[in-house]
Chains A and B, each alone.
Chain A
Amino acid sequence: MRLILDEEQRRLADSVRALLADHCPPQRVREVMADDGAGIDRRLWTQLAELGVTGLLVPEAAGGAGAGHVDRCVVLAELGAALAPVPYLASAVLATDAAIALGDDTLAEDLLPEIAAGQQTVAVAVADAGGRWGSAADSVQAARDGGHWRLAGEAAFVVDGPFADHVLVYADHGWFVVDGGAVSWRPSRTLDPTRRMARAEFARTSARYVPCADPAGVLEAVWQRAAVALAAEQLGGMRRVLDDTVEYAKVRVQFGRPIGSQQAVKHACADLYASCEQAEAVLWHAAWTADHDPAALPEAAALAQVVLGPAAFDTAASGLQLHGGIGYTWEHDAHLYYKRAKTSELLLGTPAEHRARLADALSI
């Protein structure tokens, strides 16, 4: 088990960080955030594709890098730190993992090279209006219509759905792929303005059935990999909040001295650091497990969300608190990390559901 990055992985982190520093400063995040027409930063997405990181898990034969989960988590941590408004979680994580897990050659040949090249993005629809993972099987009906299939009903919580060229849908008969343009999208109002989600309405929408012996198994495999990937984003956010908070505590003077010299502030910063260090060990363990020990992934993935979900939100909340009044303003970025952390904590289920998953994995 390896819990530290190697030289190549550190270089990967450096190059993504440098790209984001140049092209995705907080000002740019806010521009995209304010523009409902754009929603995502397409230029940044193209730059990430040129860097070769949009297809890290796509096999080399399909035009990807054939890399591993640790490498992808290195990228996700940087994207999470910058709150980069790109469809990486939707396309390079959820859709890529579903397309690989489905094991259908036609689907893989159609989608994976386009995802890897950044030419097309793909979203995944698995939840109904209640948001439970996999509940779209109850809310989206599939019916044969002559030689092909049509979908009816609706799915919700579709991350970056309206910008996607294709959507993978978990409907009542299994997995389907539909054209993004054929879906009627209803953008949701979201807690986190940097993570767009939408409701997808299907009305006799033409769909292609993806042959799959175990649709629920694919759904579970996608959840586990998403839990690891999201944990990497969460860690990136935690690190950024910690760094910003410690920096502020060093320069903000009250009562004649930097607030970071006060024990109340210093000890809270120490707790943030302790939480970050443990979260980081849990993340790299989960990513390593996804690459090397699939049998242990159900436990490691659940552990990642049990730990990182609440830890990332507590960190964002505490970091905001330690900034005092300025942290509560729209102008300061603390609220963006706060909203992202709460969103991520609930995106793949509630903390109670994650604990239940971990308990299941431990046979309690």
Chain B
Amino acid sequence: MTGQQGTGHSGTGQRGTAFRERVRGWLAEHAPGGDDHVPEASESAPTEQQLAAAKRFQAALFDAGLAGLTWPAEYGGQGLTAAELQIFQEEAAAYDLPTGVFLISMGMCGPTLVDLGTHEQKVRYLPPLLRGEEIWCQLFSEPGAGSDVASLQTRAVRDGSGDWVVTGQKVWTSGAQYADFGALLARTNPDEAKHRGLTMFVVDMHAPGVTVRPLRDMTGSAPFNEVYFDDVRIPADAVIGEVDAGWAAAVTMLGHERVSIGGSVRRRYDPMTFDSLRDEARARGVAGDPVVRGELAELYAAERKLALLNARLRQQSDAGLAPGARGSVAKLAGAQVLWQAVRVAGLVVGPRAIAWEPGDPSGDALALAINATPASSIAGGTNQIQRGIIGDRVLGLPKEPQVDRDVPFRELRVGTQAR
């Protein structure tokens, strides 16, 4: 009953009904079975076969007119509204679609190009992205620039030919090992204050001087990477937006990121959902326990209020009120729901969550889910950063005194570097 997590009632108009029928029919025919699960970029690295299968599926989605639903038709999208996107997500929630490797391309890089790219960039990059032929990654974070992304140190210097030459290191880059392009944020003017000397570029991940090294996370897998740039050349027309206006471009992309994380549909086989934990409680004969019942009801309420919040944000967006920084509420609430689920899982499963027979897949799946949960309140901006965004930009509270605001970047101390 994954439908309980959706709103169940969106798009009830005639056009919505017809679209829902079309999506439902197409998915019933084309969605792969559970054995073909491809992990999300943030989860673990896919195999070559999984990647190839995912690309084939995305191409089929594109051919069926179901890719880039809200993107402009001129660049390969469908020119539809958030209502159709919601319908698609509701229907897709019944399947474990192999679209995880495209989340960053479709949810972050693509929408930013739609907002800020030149006509030539959109024509070149958006259609292959929607067809699944080219995958993108996001190159913002660095060892010294986590929550404070604007303190990044990767340099891009213009040479005599007008090209840019990039040197530096990025980290936490999901999907870099199979990405074809990256949206790179680099420092182009260190004499300016930190927010003012940044530029966003399209970088070819296959260019000479780009080195990708896997980085293991606490679950033991390596879904993300360190990316090194050693004198990598980037042409002048690869700038996204304006030179030295990269911070505005980054804010645009981070806004899309929050919406795509907070609003993303949970996969069907997630052990950390109300549905899974209710079934687990029934299977273990504890569903009738008043404490378990109450906690399950609370978890359902938490999932439902988040789903309703997202549905309301979409309705407001369709009515002309863009979510903007309010997307941080969905991101924050999404992480809180997962932490609540970890608590309920412990209650329902008990000691078998900590030791199980080798070969018991439910034990492995639950352990992975418990271990992956910290990512929800760290990746894409920690809960603390989201609260700061809500406080500053939604509620209009006064900003903290900023000691780095008007200091040339080259005079600042960043990360954990020694004095």
B304 contacts the other chain (Cβ, under 8 Å)?
yes
B315 contacts the other chain (Cβ, under 8 Å)?
yes
State the Cβ distance, B114 to closest chain A Cβ, in Å.
25
A281 contacts the other chain (Cβ, under 8 Å)?
yes
In the assembled complex, the Cα of A307 lies from the Cα of B4 at a distance in Å of 17
In the assembled complex, the Cα of A250 lies from the Cα of B392 at a distance in Å of 11
What A residues does B394 contact at CB under 8 A?
270, 273
Q: Which of B300, B387, B397, B399 has the most CB of A within 10 A?
A: B397
State the Cβ distance, A358 to closest chain B Cβ, in Å.
4
Per-position binary interface string of chain B over residues 268-309, scored 1 when its CB falls under 8 Å from any chain A CB and 0 otherwise:
000000000010010000010010011011101100111011
In the assembled complex, the Cα of A282 lies from the Cα of B312 at a distance in Å of 10
Q: Are A1 and B9 in contact (CB under 8 A)?
A: yes
B333 contacts the other chain (Cβ, under 8 Å)?
yes
In the assembled complex, the Cα of A354 lies from the Cα of B377 at a distance in Å of 29
Q: A273-B395, A277-B329 in contact; A1/B301 too (CB < 8 A)?
A: no
Q: Which residue from chain B places its CB closest to the CB of A251 in the assembled complex?
A: B398
A246 contacts the other chain (Cβ, under 8 Å)?
yes
Q: Which of A158-166, A210-218, A254-262, A329-337 contacts B (4 or more CB under 8 A)?
A: A254-262
Tell me whether chain B's interface is mostly helix, strand or loop, or mixed: helix
Q: Are B391 and A4 in contact (CB under 8 A)?
A: no
In the assembled complex, the Cα of A262 lies from the Cα of B398 at a distance in Å of 9
> B395's contact among A3, A246, A282, A356, by CB below 8 Å, is which?
A246
Q: Which residue from chain A places its CB closest to the CB of B326 in the assembled complex?
A: A277
State the Cβ distance, B357 to closest chain A Cβ, in Å.
28
Q: A3-B312, A277-B326, A278-B333 in contact; A263/B388 too (CB < 8 A)?
A: yes
In the assembled complex, the Cα of A20 lies from the Cα of B306 at a distance in Å of 32
Q: A3-B311, A267-B387, A273-B390 in contact; A307/B401 too (CB < 8 A)?
A: no
What A residues does B333 contact at CB under 8 A?
274, 278
Q: Are B387 and A282 in contact (CB under 8 A)?
A: no
Q: Are A359 and B293 in contact (CB under 8 A)?
A: yes
In the assembled complex, the Cα of A306 lies from the Cα of B301 at a distance in Å of 7
A320 contacts the other chain (Cβ, under 8 Å)?
no
Number of A-B contacts (CB under 8 A): 130
> A4's contact among B306, B315, B396, by CB below 8 Å, is which?
B315
In the assembled complex, the Cα of A179 lies from the Cα of B384 at a distance in Å of 58
> B397's contact among A1, A260, A355, A358, by CB below 8 Å, is which?
A260
What A residues does B400 contact at CB under 8 A?
261-263
> B399's contact among A261, A281, A352, by CB below 8 Å, is which?
A261
Within 8 A of B (CB), among A2-44: 2-4
State the Cβ distance, B322 to closest chain A Cβ, in Å.
14
What B residues does A267 contact at CB under 8 A?
384, 387-388, 391
Q: Are B390 and A274 in contact (CB under 8 A)?
A: yes
Q: Are A278 and B306 in contact (CB under 8 A)?
A: yes
State the Cβ distance, A39 to closest chain B Cβ, in Å.
35
A132 contacts the other chain (Cβ, under 8 Å)?
no
Q: Are A356 and B290 in contact (CB under 8 A)?
A: yes
Q: Are A307 and B319 in contact (CB under 8 A)?
A: no
Q: Are A4 and B293 in contact (CB under 8 A)?
A: no
What B residues does A261 contact at CB under 8 A?
397-401
What B residues does A307 contact at CB under 8 A?
301, 305
What B residues does A279 contact at CB under 8 A?
305
Q: A303-B301, A355-B298 in contact; A273/B329 too (CB < 8 A)?
A: yes
B10 contacts the other chain (Cβ, under 8 Å)?
yes
Q: Which residue from chain A places its CB closest to the CB of B389 in the assembled complex?
A: A270
In the assembled complex, the Cα of A112 lies from the Cα of B176 at a distance in Å of 68
Size class of the A contact interface (CB-based, 8 Å): 35 or more
In the assembled complex, the Cα of A319 lies from the Cα of B204 at a distance in Å of 51
Per-position binary interface string of chain A over residues 247-291, scored 1 when its CB falls under 8 Å from any chain B CB and 0 otherwise:
001100000011011110111011101100111111011000000
State the Cβ distance, B76 to closest chain A Cβ, in Å.
31
In the assembled complex, the Cα of A359 lies from the Cα of B400 at a distance in Å of 44
In the assembled complex, the Cα of A1 lies from the Cα of B311 at a distance in Å of 9
In the assembled complex, the Cα of A266 lies from the Cα of B386 at a distance in Å of 11
Within 8 A of A (CB), among B1-18: 4, 7-10, 12
Q: Which of B312, B319, B399 has the most CB of A within 10 A?
A: B312
What A residues does B315 contact at CB under 8 A?
2-4
B371 contacts the other chain (Cβ, under 8 Å)?
no
Per-position binary interface string of chain B over residues 209-236, scored 1 when its CB falls under 8 Å from any chain A CB and 0 otherwise:
0000000000000000000000000000
A362 contacts the other chain (Cβ, under 8 Å)?
yes
B316 contacts the other chain (Cβ, under 8 Å)?
yes
State the Cβ distance, A303 to closest chain B Cβ, in Å.
6
In the assembled complex, the Cα of A306 lies from the Cα of B390 at a distance in Å of 25
In the assembled complex, the Cα of A257 lies from the Cα of B402 at a distance in Å of 12
In the assembled complex, the Cα of A265 lies from the Cα of B391 at a distance in Å of 9
Q: Are A285 and B384 in contact (CB under 8 A)?
A: no
Q: Which residue from chain A places its CB closest to the CB of B274 in the assembled complex?
A: A362
**What are 30 pairs between A and B in contact, CB < 8 Å?**
A1-B9, A1-B10, A4-B312, A4-B316, A246-B396, A260-B391, A260-B397, A261-B398, A261-B399, A263-B384, A263-B400, A269-B390, A270-B391, A277-B309, A277-B329, A278-B309, A282-B304, A285-B308, A293-B9, A303-B301, A303-B305, A355-B294, A355-B298, A356-B294, A362-B297, A362-B300, A364-B281, A364-B287, A364-B293, A364-B296
The 7 nearest A-B residue pairs measured at CB = A1-B9, A266-B391, A281-B308, A270-B390, A260-B397, A270-B387, A267-B387
Q: Apart from A269-B391, A303-B304, A356-B293, what 16 extra A-B contacts exist at CB < 8 Å?
A: A1-B10, A1-B311, A258-B398, A261-B401, A270-B387, A270-B395, A278-B329, A278-B333, A281-B305, A281-B309, A284-B312, A306-B301, A355-B294, A356-B297, A358-B301, A362-B296
| Residue positions of B touching A, CB distance < 8 A | 4, 7-10, 12, 278, 281, 287, 290, 293-294, 296-298, 300-301, 304-306, 308-309, 311-312, 315-316, 319, 326, 329, 332-333, 384, 386-388, 390-392, 394-401
